[in-house]
């Protein structure tokens, strides 16, 4: 640094060092020692923007030049659907600024001085540079437009609904033509909308309950289970048809064949993707014919 003729020459020499010597850019740098700047400058010579910015700033301060590290973002995408700039975390960057008399703070980006052939990892590697077709797929205009549209919808949801405020309330009333009526009109409109939604939900629930009651296969199955329950063979609330049939067969082997036929018919009528035209009728016929005879008396002498 003693060989530099002035501040600009010193900056040029430091940047040339980063470019000409084997410094490399990587997002996976080796660990540094107790003196991280010294370890970076003279040992590892590998790091990302924060390493280069902090090392450059230390060198400038050692030479008596006011310098500071600045952290922010570099670049962004304009979302034409939402009318805003999208700045991603992947655009985060750090650089340096030095003070020059008569000019003020001047930006210097030491990371940009690293030779391109020694940039070992960056955004390309984060996205998977070796993926080839996958990266091309990500860059398709249709995919990029779809991402922009989804992000605009998510932003609108967050701002207009999650972050609902008096400002968005006033704007909504203006769009609805209710600006002259004040907040009471909006409250009335919202109340009416909620009431209409509640009525619709009640109607849908009633239709669903009616549909459930008209499920003939389920009605037949419940009638079958009720007959077994009266004989002391009650089905558990979490017991499936197959497990229930096995338990009945273990306790009353003489009922195993009848119960198996009813269960097979029930599964066919209720759960098969395309039950046959006679499956429901067969189930109902088997349930009507099903009777539980008294349990056989234990053999004499049996304990």
Question: Residue 23 sits in a domain of what CATH number?
Answer: 3.90.260.10
Highest mean predicted confidence (pLDDT) among 57-61, 70-74, 181-185, 292-296: 57-61
What's the confidence (pLDDT) of residue 253? 92
* Residue range(s) defining the domain that contains residue 189: 164-211
Residue 162 has pLDDT above 80, yes or no: no
How far apart CA 33 and CA 43 sit, in angstroms, is 9
Residue 78 in 3-state DSSP? strand
How many Å separate Cα 283 from the centre of its chain?
45
What's the confidence (pLDDT) of residue 54? 94
What's the confidence (pLDDT) of residue 140? 66
- Among candidate residues 19, 38, 109, 160, the one labeled active-site is 109
- Among candidate residues 6, 19, 49, 51, the one labeled active-site is 49
How far apart CA 152 and CA 136 sit, in angstroms, is 23
Q: What is the pLDDT of residues 49-61, one digit of tens each?
A: 999 999 999 999 9
Residue 22 in any domain: the answer is yes
Strand partners, 46: 24
Q: What is the DSSP string of 132-164?
A: THHHHHHT-HHHHHHHHHHHHHHHHHIIIIIT-
Q: Which of 36-50, 71-85, 138-152, 262-276 has the lowest mean pLDDT?
A: 138-152
Residue 132 has pLDDT above 50, yes or no: no
What pTM, to 2 d.p., does this model score?
A: 0.47
How far apart CA 279 and CA 293 sit, in angstroms, is 26
What's the confidence (pLDDT) of residue 128? 40
Name the token pair of 254: 């003489």
What's the confidence (pLDDT) of residue 123? 42
Q: Is 6 assigned a catalytic role? A: no
Residue 157 in any domain: the answer is no
Q: Is 51 assigned a catalytic role? A: no
How far apart CA 14 and CA 147 sit, in angstroms, is 41
Q: Which of 38-52, 83-97, 148-162, 275-289 has the lowest mean pLDDT?
A: 148-162
Cβ-Cβ contacts under 8 Å for 125 (sequence gap 6 or more): 27
Residue 152 in any domain: the answer is no
What's the confidence (pLDDT) of residue 56? 96
What's the confidence (pLDDT) of residue 124? 44
Residue 92 parent element (H or E) = strand 92-100
Residue 153 in any domain: the answer is no
Percent of the chain with pLDDT over 90: 37
Torsion angle in degrees (nearest 10) through CA of 275, 278, 280, 281: 180
- Among candidate residues 93, 125, 151, 264, the one labeled active-site is 93
Q: Is 225 assigned a catalytic role? A: no
Q: How many domains does the chain have?
A: 3
Residue 262 in any domain: the answer is yes
109 shares a domain with 16: yes
How far apart CA 46 and CA 77 sit, in angstroms, is 29
Of 211, 243, 269, which marks where a domain is finished? 211
Cβ-Cβ contacts under 8 Å for 124 (sequence gap 6 or more): 135
Strand partners, 24: 46
Q: Give the pLDDT band of residue 207 (cuts 50, 70, 90).
A: low
Name the token pair of 17: 């060092």
Residue 232 in any domain: the answer is yes
Tally: H helices and E strands in the chain: 12, 7
How far apart CA 257 and CA 288 sit, in angstroms, is 16
Of 79, 111, 129, which marks where a domain is finished? 129
What's the confidence (pLDDT) of residue 126? 38
- Share the mean pLDDT of the chain: 81
């Amino acid at each position: 640094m003693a060989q530099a003729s002035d501040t600009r020459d010193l900056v040029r020499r430091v940047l040339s060092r980063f470019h000409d010597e084997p410094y490399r850019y990587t997002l996976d740098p080796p660990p540094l020692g107790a003196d991280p700047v010294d370890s970076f400058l003279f040992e590892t010579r590998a790091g990302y923007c924060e390493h280069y910015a902090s090392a450059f700033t230390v060198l400038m301060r050692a030479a008596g030049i006011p310098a500071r590290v600045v952290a922010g973002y570099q670049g962004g995408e304009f979302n034409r659907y939402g009318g805003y700039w999208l700045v991603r975390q992947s655009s985060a960057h750090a650089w340096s600024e030095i003070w020059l008399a008569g000019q003020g703070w001047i930006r210097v980006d030491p990371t940009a001085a690293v030779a391109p052939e020694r940039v070992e990892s960056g955004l390309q590697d984060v996205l998977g540079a070796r993926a080839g077709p996958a990266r091309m797929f990500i860059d398709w205009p249709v995919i990029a437009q779809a991402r922009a549209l989804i992000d605009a919808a998510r932003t609108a949801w967050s701002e207009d609904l999650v972050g609902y405020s008096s400002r968005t309330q006033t704007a909504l009333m203006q769009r609805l033509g209710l600006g002259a009526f004040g907040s009471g009109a909006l409250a009335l409109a919202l109340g009416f909308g909620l009431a209409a939604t509640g009525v619709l939900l009640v109607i849908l629930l009633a239709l669903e309950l009616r549909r459930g009651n008209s499920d003939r296969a389920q009605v037949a199955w419940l009638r079958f289970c009720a007959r077994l329950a009266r004989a002391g063979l009650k089905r558990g609330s979490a017991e499936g048809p197959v497990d229930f049939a096995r338990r009945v067969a273990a306790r009353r082997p003489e009922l195993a064949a009848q119960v198996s036929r009813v269960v097979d018919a029930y599964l066919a009528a209720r759960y098969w993707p395309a039950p046959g035209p006679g499956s429901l009728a067969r189930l109902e016929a088997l349930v009507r014919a099903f009777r539980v005879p008294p349990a056989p008396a234990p053999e004499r002498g049996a304990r």
